[in-house]
Chain A
Amino acid sequence: QKEVEQNSGPLSVPEGAIASLNCTYSDRVSQSFFWYRQYSGKSPELIMSIYSNGDKEDGRFTAQLNKASQYVSLLIRDSQPSDSATYLCAVPNRDDKIIFGKGTRLHILP
């Protein structure tokens, strides 16, 4: 099993709808989880960090963490065309290196 897994997409969502991005991880002792957004030709940008089970909201973004299921998700409400990007799930390993998923390409349909 890969350490961090994401559906590569593309995930197409109509403008104004909720985009739901999912990620699973293999290391049960992981304590911190990150979502990065990467536009084409640009470097990744940290958009959400989550450390505790449950939901964390920041503007239109909500991160959800379920450590028992080893699952972390990102919801984007009121999706905008500018949200079209690749979203990377990231989890630090025991050596403090960040392990990235391969990313999910999100396309918001105007």
Chain B
Amino acid sequence: GAVVSQHPSWVICKSGTSVKIECRSLDFQATTMFWYRQFPKQSLMLMATSNEGSKATYEQGVEKDKFLINHASLTLSTLTVTSAHPEDSSFYICSAFSGRSYNEQFFGPGTRLTVL
């Protein structure tokens, strides 16, 4: 399968600071990437669709000014959690279409964010 990486794998930050999470497609180009959030024992929740060279599309209820997404190249999308608060603590996962088969999505390993 296609390989998607994320960095960092975990991060702890103070309330009010901003945190940037990187998502990279390592062996393919991804014009579209997705950002998900998952709270403990809950389902994946799609936050936004990241499109290379254009603005991200956010799902209903997701604050675009709080969760900044940049997809500047075909292999890199970034999610910045601005002015993080404890309620933003979660598991953030990105995914990308490989383009090799019908809409197969491959996930990165995820980033665990803890806001103190």
Q: Which of A4-59 contact B (CB under 8 A)?
A: 31-32, 34, 36, 41-46, 49, 51
A71 adjacent to chain B (CB < 8 Å)? no
Across the interface, do A43 and B43 meet the contact criterion of CB distance under 8 Å?
no
Give every chain B residue within 8 A of A36 (Cβ-Cβ): 107
B8 adjacent to chain A (CB < 8 Å)? no
Cα–Cα distance between A98 and B106 once the two chains are bound (Å)? 11
Across the interface, do A97 and B43 meet the contact criterion of CB distance under 8 Å?
no
Across the interface, do B110 and A42 meet the contact criterion of CB distance under 8 Å?
yes
Across the interface, do A97 and B46 meet the contact criterion of CB distance under 8 Å?
yes
Closest A-chain residue to B104, C-beta based? Answer: A49
Q: Which of B59-105 contact A (CB under 8 A)?
A: 91, 93, 95, 97, 101-105
Across the interface, do A43 and B93 meet the contact criterion of CB distance under 8 Å?
yes
Q: How far is the CB of B95 from the nearest CB of chain A, in Å?
A: 8
Q: How far is the CB of A85 from the nearest CB of chain B, in Å?
A: 14
Query: B1-36 vs A: 1/0 string, CB under 8 Å?
Result: 100000000000000000000000000000010100
Across the interface, do A49 and B49 meet the contact criterion of CB distance under 8 Å?
no
Q: Which of A46, A92, A102 contacts B106 (CB 8 A)?
A: A46
Across the interface, do A102 and B110 meet the contact criterion of CB distance under 8 Å?
no
Across the interface, do B102 and A100 meet the contact criterion of CB distance under 8 Å?
no
Q: Which of B1, B93, B108 contacts A46 (CB 8 A)?
A: B1
Closest A-chain residue to B93, C-beta based? Answer: A43
Interchain Cβ contacts under 8 Å between A and B, 24 examples: A32-B102, A32-B104, A34-B104, A34-B105, A36-B107, A41-B91, A42-B109, A42-B110, A43-B91, A43-B93, A43-B110, A44-B93, A46-B105, A49-B101, A49-B102, A51-B102, A88-B44, A96-B32, A96-B103, A97-B46, A97-B49, A98-B34, A98-B103, A98-B105
